[in-house]
Amino acid sequence: MRILSWRLILALTIGLSLVSLASSWYEIRAQRNALRRDLDSKAETVSDNLAATAEFYLANGNHDGLQKLVELSGKRDHLVGLGIYGRDDSALALTPGLNGSLPVLTQLLKNAMQDNRDISIFTELRFKRVHLLAAPLQANNKTVIGALLVVHDSGYIDTETFRIWGHLFLRMAIQVLVIVTITLLIIRWSLTGPVARVAVWMRALRTGQDAVPPSATDLDFLLPLAREVGPLAESMQRARSAAETEAGLRNANESQWTAQRLADHVRNRLGKSNLFVVSNREPYIHARRDNTVAVTVPASGLVTALEPILCACNGTWIAHGSGDADAETVDAHDHLKVPPEDPRYTLRRVWLSREQEEGYYYGFANEGLWPLCHIAHTRPIFRASDWEHYYAVNRKFADALIQEIGSEENPVVLIQDYHFALLPRMLKDRIPNARVAIFWHIPWPTPEAFEICPWQRELLDGLLGADLIGFHVRAHCNNFLNTVDRILESRVDWEHFSVKRNNHFTSVLPFPISVELPCDIPEARSNLSAQEERSLLFAELGIEATFLGIGIDRVDYTKGIIERFQAVESFLERYPGYQGKFTFIQIGAPSRTHIKRYADFQSEVEAEANRINARFRYGRWKPIVFLNRQHDRHQLEHYYRAAHICMVTSLHDGMNLVAKEYIAARQDEHGVLILSRFTGAARELHDAIIVNPYDVSATGESIAEALKMDPSEIVERMRRMRRSVKEHNIYWWAASLIGALCELRLDSIGDAKSTAPERVLVVK
């Protein structure tokens, strides 16, 4: 850096000096020319003033008058002398300074009289720089009878020129010094300092020390380098953290799953096969904000789990392009390399018309299948037009998927959720050698409930095109197998949890999804205690309270939000001592609001919160705070860490990751989870307080039980639940699902509807 500074100083000095010299030369030349023109004009003035009198004396032969004339007029600034000469170049009258004859004067006088015009030159006379002006003198008949010579000292012009050069050199030196100093300061503040901090950071990362990343502005002047250095440093940190975690696990004889371990595991399982993921929601959304395009990552455990795999195997994720700037960021084939900061896999976007999105997503998927699969007492709505859109969109995704697979020999395809029940069959019929899994993230209803659907056979047949169907819990697997056994002609193997239909075997297994436990992520650690977090939240909301309960959900009728509010009301009725002390904050992200049932439900939730608040609130305290807006993951972390209790009281849920997110966030091992028995999470988190959300009174009692629980019991319960989440985290879920799919052995590949040899399914 020192060499760079000296090089820059030298380059700036030379460059600025050359520029200053060039501009100064032009400036001085202009001033010198101006002084010469001024002297020439002064000589002409003297000549004009004397010419008439000299011509009169010369014409009359009055030589004494001529001598007196030149002597009287010879006392002027810079005037060396005056002379009047006859037609034969003889000197008739001279000032003392012009005594003697010089060839240059003789020639100048001859030229002036011969050409009958004024002639001026700058020359050197007796080692002195002078200006000479020779003007012809005429008689009345315009005949030249002599000449007038005016001699000025021009040395002052050189003196003035040297003086100007001196000032310019001084100014130039000062300018160069100031500019070089400013440049060095800029280098110090904007280059040397940031680079030094980055070097310290990189050295700390390399040596495994605690590293504080430099500020985002440190490398603004080198954005391309910053884009590469940042991900490189983060990769080094992640790699070191993963290695340390793996080493710690080996020493502790444990087997915690990490992103790196998952990537290595799946890469080995896939072998030469490529992974293709299909979901309705995309992992990266580009949206226009003001005049810029911003990229956001939806809060989704699915992205957390699957992205390490796709990065490791350069896979492809196919999803609906829903962002208003999505089309601006893809190439001619609708592809985009992601993640943006470190592109490792391909996102293929599929475009849907507004009518298709209304019918397929909002219509059949969310007004039909969603209430059908959730026992929440909302009647499913099935429209033939919605079914047609659902079928068409599944076909469109199948076409896109087949296009991406191309000539791949043994592709592995993972399809996500109830939006694509028909896709496995569509894909399997066209690419029989593909390994296909679909994970159903919501519950599966009883056969009696599923029979409501007019297209029940088509949905089941579409799902059974997959080699593996995953649910959160065994009960949902049982419901699915019972439904297949009741509706379709097939053979259900209850011992191996599989279905044989048209010589094709489908395994149906539980894979309880989870979350990432951020215990080893430095940025996930908080420097604030739970009490400090609560105080900050209460201050931000402008309320006064002591105890905090939270609920975090989409505003959906399956989440039991109204029943939760009523449980808080029941608790405050029975335990009035907590009035003014206990506040329940419900974070409710708006969801599908242009579906009438959801819009109505949002109004119902707001009305219930207002009713209870109107009954109990006083001063700056109120029992319920309803925050009806989106919150990002980091904002939610504050609520998780601050809350005494977290209530997850869904009326029916596949898993509900809020329960596990709350546990993952409680690194202090405090906090109590109140959990609905109708969630998949209740099958794993036995140390939560399990409730029936329909029993409002009993749920209210559970709040009192949580607030009065002995601190040691709280810690023991939370510790056991954190251990469960840690051992069966999101990476374990993905490894189990992909691993089970890759372990399927297909002894023979053939048309599913032909009489080809059977395909043998083996699950280890």
- Residue 148 φ then ψ, to 5°: -110, 130
Question: How far apart are the C-alpha atoms of 677 and 680, rounded to whole Å?
Answer: 8
Running DSSP on this structure, what letter comes out for residue 684? T
Helix pair 223-251, 193-207: axis angle to 10 deg: 20
> What pLDDT is attached to residue 226?
55
Higher pLDDT, 321 or 83: 321
Question: How far apart are the C-alpha atoms of 552 and 648, rounded to whole Å?
Answer: 8
Mean pLDDT of 750-755: 34
> What pLDDT is attached to residue 753?
35
Tokens representing residue 27 in the block: 């400036």
pTM over cut 0.75: no
pLDDT in tens, 497-546: 999 999 999 999 999 999 988 754 444 456 789 999 999 999 999 999 99
Looking at 5-9, 162-166, 757-761, which range is the least confident one?
757-761
Tokens representing residue 264 in the block: 């290595």
> What pLDDT is attached to residue 101?
56
pLDDT in tens, 349-393: 999 999 999 999 999 999 999 999 999 889 999 999 999 999 999
> What pLDDT is attached to residue 758?
35
Higher pLDDT, 103 or 750: 103
User: Rounded to 5 degrees, what angle do the CA atoms 522, 526, 527 make?
Assistant: 110
Residue 317: pLDDT band with limits 50, 70, 90: very high
Amino acid at site 592: R
Per the listing, tokens 């996500």 go with 416
Q: pLDDT above 70 covers what percent of the chain?
A: 86
- Residue 488 φ then ψ, to 5°: -105, 155
Looking at 328-332, 516-520, 615-619, 651-655, which range is the least confident one?
516-520
Residue 100: pLDDT band with limits 50, 70, 90: low
Question: How far apart are the C-alpha atoms of 148 and 243, rounded to whole Å?
Answer: 104
Beta bridge partners of 320: 350
Higher pLDDT, 244 or 617: 617
Residue 252: pLDDT above 90? Answer: no
Per the listing, tokens 């690419």 go with 431
> What pLDDT is attached to residue 752?
35
Of the ranges 37-51, 197-211, 251-265, the best mean pLDDT one: 37-51
Longest dimension (CA), the chain: 150
- Residue 144 φ then ψ, to 5°: -70, 120
Q: What is the torsional sign of CA 529, 531, 537, 540?
A: negative
DSSP letters for 442-465 = S----HHHHTTSTTHHHHHHHHTT
Of the ranges 58-67, 125-134, 624-633, the best mean pLDDT one: 624-633
Helix (H, G, I), strand (E, B), or coil: what is residue 154?
coil
Calculated CA dihedral for residues 415, 420, 426, 431, nearest 10 degrees: -10
> What is the distance, to the nearest Å, from the Cα of residue 731 to the centroid of all Cα atoms in its chain?
25
Looking at 68-72, 98-102, 470-474, 672-676, which range is the least confident one?
98-102
> What pLDDT is attached to residue 434?
94
Running DSSP on this structure, what letter comes out for residue 645? E
> What pLDDT is attached to residue 205?
58
pLDDT in tens, 424-471: 999 999 999 999 999 999 999 999 999 999 999 999 999 999 999 999
> What pLDDT is attached to residue 632?
84
Question: How far apart are the C-alpha atoms of 268 and 309, rounded to whole Å?
Answer: 11
Residue 640: pLDDT above 50? Answer: yes
> What pLDDT is attached to residue 249?
52
The 10 Å CB-count burial string (b at 16+, else e) for 669-706 is eebbbbbbebbbbbebbebbbbbebeebeebbbbbbeb
Question: How far apart are the C-alpha atoms of 560 and 682, rounded to whole Å?
Answer: 15
Residue 423: pLDDT band with limits 50, 70, 90: very high
Mean pLDDT of 27-56: 85
pLDDT in tens, 683-699: 999 999 999 999 999 99
Per the listing, tokens 């030159």 go with 121
- Average pLDDT for the chain: 86
> What is the distance, to the nearest Å, from the Cα of residue 756 to the centroid of all Cα atoms in its chain?
53
User: Rounded to 5 degrees, what angle do the CA atoms 430, 431, 434 make?
Assistant: 150
Question: How far apart are the C-alpha atoms of 429 and 443, rounded to whole Å?
Answer: 27
Residue 24: pLDDT band with limits 50, 70, 90: confident
Q: pLDDT above 90 covers what percent of the chain?
A: 52
Mean pLDDT of 256-277: 87
Residue 754: pLDDT above 50? Answer: no
Mean pLDDT of 109-122: 87
Residue 221: pLDDT above 70? Answer: no
Helix (H, G, I), strand (E, B), or coil: what is residue 695?
coil
> What pLDDT is attached to residue 28?
82
Mean pLDDT of 319-346: 93
571 near 701, Cβ under 8 Å? Answer: yes
> What pLDDT is attached to residue 745?
64
Question: How far apart are the C-alpha atoms of 439 and 738, rounded to whole Å?
Answer: 11
Residue 238: pLDDT band with limits 50, 70, 90: low
> What pLDDT is attached to residue 259?
84
